[in-house]
Structure 1
Amino acid sequence: MSQDTLVKRQFGHRARLALSPAEVSKTDGQAHAARTLWNCLHAWWQMMPKDKRTLAAADAAIRQARKEIDFLAVLPAQAAQAVLKTYHQAWKNCWEGRADAPNFKARFRAVMSVDIPQGRDLNIVRVHRRWGMVNIPKVGRVRFRWTKDLPVGKRADAENRITGARLVKDVLGWHIAFRVQALQGRPDPHQGAEVGIDVGVTVPLALSNEDHQDHGRPPRLPDGTADRDKWLTPKEKAKLLRLEREAAHRKTFRKRGEKTSRRLRHTYDQIKQLRAKATRRALDWQHQTTTRLARTYGVIVVEQLNITNMVKSARGTVEEPGKNVKAKAGLNRSISQEAWGRTVTMLAYKLARHGGELVKVPAPNTSRRCSACGTITPGSREDQATFVCKNPGCGFEANADWNAARNILHLYRIGHVIVEVPALGSRGRRAGNTVKPAAAM
């Protein structure tokens, strides 16, 4: 295979670690030291004049802090350097308008993580079919679940290797996320059909060819309110309700300023486990669905949605209070649960892996326009689930999501494709989007 047909790809793989109580304590200590180092670095950055906020000065400050504070010595030196690089990158993202300014990390709200920037320090070995061994600096050799073939041993070379990893803790315990670099063959252009997709709440993914993807979980309860625990079984929902009531009851006995009791922390952990189970089920459905779509279709067209603006609260102000605040809050919760942005991200990299293409088109009026006659007639969307064209010469009637998906595909076919403008505005934010014909791309 020639070099022209090869492409270098970088992806991640997450595996669960099997740590002993002593190893968990050591890893927790490293994570707390990394968070403390971040907070010290942030305090130093705010106190220093702007002309002295350099990487060299920050590196010297970190080295001095590790000498003076014994608690920070449990963190490996390379992991401390990774904290500095991550912090500096956070400021670069802020300056370029991609994120907000970095802030202090709270003990209980921040994600516990430790970076291992050098892949050669891992020394990964496969023990047998289900388990592998990895070296964690200042912790030792630990086991992890082997669920994916990794480029280790004789399979590793300069182009196919593990470049680093990150230790991350969630409610299920510690996991290791490997950063993998692989040289793979460039996929042939996908010969599948074109399809438009409209994301929604009632129908998660409505396709223009009526091959709708539904996870079978109703978004609302019989009383009309949003079901935020739709990925749990009725038995699990009852258990979650009981635990939340217990936590609320036990919280009334805690005085202001007192530490959370062990019993209350245990109840919180049980609630987190149920929430994590629901999140894993939703993520698993998204992965399976997007993989199936990427293998089936060559071009997938979606809307360019500003989800952040869509889920803004309707509460308003004291002078001008909002209307239908409770209903809007339920809709916002349902939109957040469907994770439309994550679905589009999955489709983007999976289509690229299979030789397909993801295209975005403008979102305005895709749900109000009739896909049969192309007109926008007031009153066509009186029913949220059904589209009935009020044009006297048309009368087209169909599912509202399917009608929108057909409009999305039609916009792509007539050339209304969104092209991201690389130029940045005066404050570092994107200047905007433009529309170009598909043939000009």
Structure 2
Amino acid sequence: MSPAGIRAADDQAHAARTLWNLLHAWWQMMPKEKRTLANADAAIRQARKDIDFLTVLPAQAAQTVLKTYFQAWKNCWEHRADAPNFKGRFRTVMSVDIPQGRDLNITRVHRRWGMVNVPKVGRVRFRWTKDLPVGKRADAENRITGARLVKDALGWHIAFRVQTLQDKPEPHPGPDIGIDMGVTVPLALSDGETFEHGEWLTQKEKAKLLHLEQRAAQRKKHRRSGESTSRRLHRTYDRIAGLRAKAKRRALDWQHRTTTVIARTYGTVVVEALTITNMVTSARGTIEAPGKNVAQKSGLNRSISGEAWGRTVTMLTYKTARLGGTLVKVSAPGTSRRCSACGLTTPGSRESQAVFVCKNPDCGWSGNADHNAARNVLHLYRTGLALVPAAGRAVVRRAKRVKPATAR
């Protein structure tokens, strides 16, 4: 995207965020009986006439902001999300919606690149990473219905909304598998296989990131109280954000590749029902009752958040359903401390992070601790103890199909 196109996209994103905030302020001032879609639409039209800055946003994109805001309240009333609030300038992801696919006029230049028309921005080149239903391949059942521009630290990106007709998949013939998610070993499977990854940044990139963070801290230290942030400090922050965005993108790519392999290989994927928000709670405590090992717990919390277990489960959910498989959640407590061979929980069996040795005199089984937990996860499913969502919460129900308890 050219510098002029980047400025135009930035202006549209800021206008969309401003329109959201104006709409939220209007919602708070209006009585309940006047909070209707028609009144909100009239308020938006009047705001676009009174505020010249809002006219840089196409009318269709402004209507999308209105629909998204009302959908946010609907999600809140149905207890699927929190109530919508004002969007901050630096905390909000900059984005612009293109709701109509006919405005895009997508053409493929060659194997790697394509061109798309962005309203009030112009023709923009984008990286062609996936086949799109354009030209002769587009019809009433397979077509592009819109797009969304999203900006991160690496620049502007476009995501297309595609409507396609897919046949109902046949049941996946693959075997069942239990998965234990951890920090040292990200994904350990009950059949003995593991999926691991290295550092998301190279040594050179990590050294560069450390240097930039030290430079930012030094420049921030010399800034006087009440003085605005200098352009040099802003550029340093942008370079730091760029490196972190690159690491996040590599982590996301690894998750997509790994979950795709699992969904294609196994028919039923069993995972633990983890409450991650409780697991990453700070151990700082209070003044009266200060916590212990606060620094170690903070490091563990960062490692858990970095692995993004919830995003992995989300990917497995829709990928297994798309390929005819099933994802099942089971209760997490006790899976890492219970022996998968004898089924007993004996104190001291978990000798270390990686080794499990059953202290039961009649058993004595030993093996990898992560694989042992994954076998226990699969065993809970095969004995019929699966967590099924019901009325917004998870309850334990007896599954209809019961398999042998042996975990293999």
TM-score band (shorter)? over 0.9
Q: Secondary structure at the match of 1:71?
A: helix
Q: 2:38 aligns with which of 50, 56, 79?
A: 56
Aligned to 1:360: 329
1:319 aligns with one of 288, 295, 303: 288
Look up the equivalent residue of 1:435 and give its one-letter code.
Answer: R
Quote the residue 1:220 is aligned against: none
Q: Distance in 2 between matches of 1:127 and 1:33?
A: 31
Q: What code does the residue aligned with 1:176 have?
A: I
Contact residue 420 and residue 434 of structure 1 kept, 8 A = no
Equivalence for 1:167: 149
* Offset, 1:303: 0.9
1:177-197, CA deviations, whole angstroms, 9 ceiling, x for partnerless residues? Answer: 101111123333222221110
Q: Which aligned pairs between 1:29-428 and structure 2 lie closer than 5 A?
A: 29-215=11-197, 217=198, 230-421=199-390, 423=391
TM-score by length of 1: 0.88
Distance 2:108 2:251 in 1: 30
Deviation at 1:382, TM superposition (A): 4.6
- One-letter amino acid matched to 1:132: G
| In structure 2, C-alpha distance between the alignment counterparts of 1:398 and 1:438, rounded to whole Å | 31
Q: CA offset at residue 354 of structure 1?
A: 2.3
Partner of 1:437: 399
Q: Give the equivalent residue in structure 1 for 2:405.
A: none
Deviation at 1:432, TM superposition (A): 4.0
1:391-432 C-alpha deviation (Å, 9 max, x unpaired) = 2211222221111100011111111111111x3xxxxxx244
Deviates more, 1:199-208 or 1:81-90: 81-90
1:172-217 deviation line (CA, Å, top 9, x unaligned): 11111101111123333222221110000111101101011111x3
Find the aligned partners of 1:235 and 1:269 in 2 and give their Cα distance.
18
**Alpha-carbon distance in structure 1 between the residues aligned to 2:369 and 2:32:** 54
Specify the alignment match of 1:25 in structure 2: 7
CA deviations 1:19-73 (Å, max 9, x no partner) are 1111111111101100111111111112222232222221111111111111111
Structure 1 stretches of at least 4 aligned residues deviating more than 4 Å after TM superposition: none
- Alpha-carbon distance in 2 for matches of 1:89, 1:83: 10
Structure 2 unaligned blocks of 5 or more: 403-408
Whether contact under 8 Å (1:311, 1:335) holds in the other structure is yes
The answer as to whether partners of 1:162 and 1:178 remain within 8 angstroms in 2 is yes
Gaps spanning 5+ residues in structure 1: where?
Answer: 1-18, 218-229, 424-429
1:185 aligned counterpart, secondary structure? coil
Alignment RMSD: 1.6
Superposed displacement of residue 98, structure 1: 2.1
SS in 1 for 2:93: coil
Counterpart of 2:367 in 1: which secondary structure? strand
Aligned-residue sequence identity (percent) comes to: 75
- 2:120 is paired with a residue of what secondary structure? coil
What residue number does 2:406 align with? none
The residue type equivalent to 1:323 in the other structure is K
Distance in structure 2 (CA, Å) of the matches to 1:240 and 1:407:
41
Greater RCO (CA < 8 Å, at least 6 residues apart): 1
TM-score, normalization by structure 2: 0.95
Q: Per-residue CA shift, 1:250-284, capped at 9, x if unaligned?
A: 11232333332111111111111111111121111
Residues 52-61 or 106-115, more deviating: 52-61
- Equivalent residues of 2:388, 2:394 under 8 A apart: no
Once the two structures are TM-superposed, the CA of residue 301 in structure 1 deviates from its matched residue by 0.9
2:289 and 2:300 map into 1 onto residues whose CA distance is: 21
Q: What is the number of residues matched between the two proteins? A: 402
Inter-partner Cα distance in structure 1 for 2:142 and 2:355: 51
C-alpha distance in structure 2 between counterparts of 1:108 and 1:154, whole Å: 42
